[in-house]
């Protein structure tokens, strides 16, 4: 009688474990389909704090905004220095955005649908300007945005508990600092009137 009870209990345990294993396997397959990564990445997924989620969302918004404003400057500016700077913004922020999207996928965060509102405001303001006025305002916006971004990234490096978010912020900071330095140089050049065409 005891042997039968033990066999039944062992059988029930085996069935329960196999069902849990199948369920986990199906979850991993679904996650791989959604993210386009192998099932091994599912084990690295960690929940981010609200502070880290806010940082990631702001970083995504900033990359989209600065990339797209760079594209506008490539079309509207007649100044070679401004166009070169705009191309750098497009290239660097596209690369940063790709890395950020990979991080968001890894952490299970959805990507934004549509453009951030802040971008629409900046685009509207810049679209109403032409020639030198456009160049000056574009560079002023880039100085302000990059100063704000650098402050946020430094705060995140010092406060985040997530190593992946910290790595992203630390890796991106030098690029943002270089963008700010170039924007400040352009700002000075444009205000003194020594433009390269």
Mean pLDDT of the chain: 80
Looking at residue 84, its pLDDT comes to: 98
Looking at residue 7, its pLDDT comes to: 45
Contacts of 160 (CB under 8 A, 6+ apart): 49, 51, 52, 55, 166, 169
Is the dihedral angle over the CA atoms 6, 7, 10, 12 positive or is it negative? negative
State pLDDT tens for residues 174-194. 999 999 999 999 999 998 875
Contacts of 23 (CB under 8 A, 6+ apart): none
Please check the confidence at residue 37 and state whether its pLDDT lies above 90. no
Is the dihedral angle over the CA atoms 152, 154, 157, 158 positive or is it negative? negative
- In whole angstroms, give the CA distance from residue 197 to residue 188: 16
State pLDDT tens for residues 79-137. 999 999 999 999 999 999 999 999 999 999 887 666 566 556 778 888 888 889 999 99
CB distance 83 to 74 below 8 Å: yes
C-alpha neighbours within 13 Å on the C-beta side of residue 16: 6
Contacts of 79 (CB under 8 A, 6+ apart): 132, 135, 190, 195, 196, 197
Spatial CA neighbour of 190 closest among 37, 94, 73, 108: 73
Q: Which two tokens stand for residue 55?
A: 């940082």
Average pLDDT of the residues in 26-35: 37
Higher pLDDT, 35 or 185: 185
Average pLDDT of the residues in 59-80: 93
C-alpha neighbours within 13 Å on the C-beta side of residue 81: 19
Average pLDDT of the residues in 56-68: 92
CB distance 180 to 141 below 8 Å: no
Higher pLDDT, 144 or 196: 144
> Is residue 135 helix, strand or coil?
helix
Spatial CA neighbour of 96 closest among 137, 65, 141: 65
Domains, the chain, with CATH or none: 1-44 (no CATH), 47-192 (1.20.1260.10)
CB distance 161 to 46 below 8 Å: no
Q: Return the residue matching tokens 């992203």.
A: 168
pTM of this prediction? 0.72
């Amino acid at each position: 009688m005891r042997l039968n009870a033990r066999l039944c209990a062992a059988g029930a345990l085996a069935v329960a474990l196999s069902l849990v294993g199948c369920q986990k396997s199906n979850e991993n397959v679904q996650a791989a389909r959604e993210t386009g990564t192998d099932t091994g990445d599912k084990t690295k997924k960690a929940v981010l704090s609200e502070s880290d989620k806010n940082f990631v969302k702001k970083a995504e918004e900033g990359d989209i905004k600065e990339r797209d404003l760079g594209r506008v400057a490539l079309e509207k500016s007649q100044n070679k220095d401004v166009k070169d700077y705009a191309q750098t913004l497009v290239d660097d922020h596209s690369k940063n955005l790709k890395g950020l999207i990979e991080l968001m996928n890894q952490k299970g965060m959805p990507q934004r649908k549509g453009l951030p509102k802040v971008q629409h405001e900046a685009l509207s303001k810049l679209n109403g300007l032409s020639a030198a006025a456009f160049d000056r305002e574009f560079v002023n916006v880039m100085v302000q945005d990059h100063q704000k971004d650098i402050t946020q990234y430094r705060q995140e490096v010092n406060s985040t508990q997530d190593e992946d978010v910290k790595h992203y912020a630390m890796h991106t900071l030098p690029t943002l600092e270089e963008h700010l330095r170039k924007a400040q140089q352009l700002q000075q050049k444009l205000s003194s009137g020594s433009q390269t065409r």
